Structure 1
Amino acid sequence: MPFNCTTLFKLFCFCIATLVFGCKKQDLSKLDTYTSEGFITAVIEIPAGTTKKIEYNKQLLEFKIDQINGKDRIIKFLPYLGNYGFIPGTLSDKTKGGDGDPLDIIVLSDTKQTGTVLSVIPIAVLRIVDEGEEDDKIIAVPEKTTDRILDVETYIEWQERYPASITMLLTWYNNYDTSGQNVILGIEDETVAKTIITKWQL
C-alpha cells in the first residue's frame, strides 16, 4: 500500500503514543498481594549475594540505594543470604505497631535482579522488633519448582531438610546490624506468616 500523508501521520501518532504510554512506569507497590493462583507476590529490591541496601521509591517509581548522611547504605557484614524485597498491597501500619512500610520478604532462591516480580510460597516468618516496631520478614520460596534451591513448601520441611540454613539466617540477622536496635524474637511457621500477611494487607 503506498504511503500518503494520512498514513504517515497515523504512523507518527502511533510512534509517539508508544513512546509516551508504552514506557510508562508501573507502580510495583500497587501490584496484587496474591496471584490469581493464590500465591504471594514478591518484588525484589536487594539481590541475594549483594550488600547495597536498595529500596523501592513509590513516588519516583524507581529503585534507589538507601542513604545515611549522604552516603550509600552498605551492609558491613556478609551479603544478603536471600533475595530481599517487599509484598505489594501491604502496609505495616505505624498506628498498629508496624514500621510504616510494606511487609518485608526474603525469597530463598538463586540471585534475582532488582525489580524482579516473583510468585512465591511463604514457609515461615522471622519475627523482629526494631525500635519498638514490628519489622517481621516473611520467608518464602519460589512457587515454580524450577526456581527453587531448597526443596520445601512448609516450615517443618525446611527444619527437617535444611536446618543449617535456618541457623545461618538467624546468625546473619543477629550480626548484620550492630546498632543494637533490632531484637530477634525467632522464626515461626507458615501459618503465622500467612496471618501476618493478612493482617497488613490493604
Structure 2
Amino acid sequence: MLYMAVMFIETQTTPNPATLKFLPGRQVMPSGTRDFPDPESAEASPLASALFSMGDVTGVFFGSDFVSVTAAQGTDWAALKPQVVAILLDHFVSEAPLFMGGGADGIAVPAEADAVVEDREEDADVIAQICELIETRVRPAVAGDGGDIVYRGFSEGVVYLQMQGACAGCPSSTATLKQGIEGLLKHYVPEVTEVRAA
C-alpha cells in the first residue's frame, strides 16, 4: 500500500506588509539564520534561488522554523502566495538540500556580517552584556515577526544593529530600534546611549 506524506504550510502576516512568514512545520535552519536580500546572495541556496526566480520576490530569509518572503511594492500577495507555497512544498517534500555544497546534510554555515565599527577590547564586558540581551530578549521577539537582528558593533555608547528578514524595510523597524531595543539596552547597560541601524 502506498502512503503519501501530507504537508501543510502555515502562513502568517508580519508587521512588514510586504513580507509574509511561511511555517513548514519542520526545521528550516538547524542553527542561526540566513538573509538573502537579493538574487545574487540567493545563489548559495536552491530554495532561495527558486523563490527569487518568480520575479516579484525581493527578499528571502531563513529562520529556525520559518521562511520569510518579501515581495516587491505593489505585488498582489493573493496571486504570489500560492506560488511561494508550491515552491516550499516541492522543496521540503523532496527533502532537497537547503544550500549547495553544504556537506551531507546540505547545510552551509553563513558567514558573519562585517562589523560596522571595530569593537574595542576594553568594551568586552559591555559588549557581552549587549549581546546576551539581544540573544535572550530581542531575537526571539524579532523572530516571531519573521526576521532577525544582528549585532554589528559598539562604539562610544552607540550600538549598531542590522535588521534582517521581515524586519528589514519594515515601516515600524525604526520605532522597534529606537523605542523598544534602545530602551531595553539603556535600562540594563548604562554605557549604551543610542542604538543605530547598520
The TM-score range, normalised by the shorter chain, is under 0.3
Q: Which has the higher helix share?
A: 2
TM-score, length-scaled by structure 1: 0.28
Q: Which has the higher strand share?
A: 1
